[in-house]
Amino acid sequence: MVYSDLSVDYFKMFLLNVPAALIALTLFFFLDDLTGFEITYLLELPEPFSFIFTWFAALPFILWLALSITNFFVKDFLILRGPCPNCGTENVSFFGTILSISNGGSANTVKCSNCGTEMVYDSNTRLITLPERSKA
Ligand SMILES: [Zn+2]
């Protein structure tokens, strides 16, 4: 029984990258320290060189570093959110591989945080279904 559509929670996926971005920034400034503040020097170049360096070299490098760090811990991650069929509370489910341990397949069983209803979140079809209940 299909209940509802799932949507991708880009905000939470973005948040997942924030710790790595902070680490990347720290590494960047650490590198800056090691190279004798040459990076800071480049950032303080007269315009437009400083602008070009900041946006086309430093920032992509930090972003690339952040993504690499995140990818080291979690792979092919996807965060899906959808409403509970019972009470409408938005529930979030994480799909992906954490430290090379897959969470096992494309469907997650999610228990509503509000009312405890069990749902199945399918990352392939992007649909919420209710599990078949075998009544005793
Ligand atoms: Zn609920």
Please give the pLDDT value at position 115: 96
Please give the pLDDT value at position 58: 84
Q: Where are the domains of the chain?
A: 2-10+74-129, 12-73
Please give the pLDDT value at position 110: 94
CA 133 – ligand 1 centroid, Å = 17
CA 14 – ligand 1 centroid, Å = 26
Averages of pLDDT over each 10 residues, the chain, 136 residues: 85 88 87 78 80 83 88 86 94 87 80 95 92 63
pTM value is 0.70
Please give the pLDDT value at position 133: 64
Q: How far is CA 69 from the centre of its chain?
A: 12
CA 18 – ligand 1 centroid, Å = 29
Q: And the tokens for 63?
A: 């972003």
CA 87 – ligand 1 centroid, Å = 4
Please give the pLDDT value at position 135: 52
CA distance 101 to 73: 10
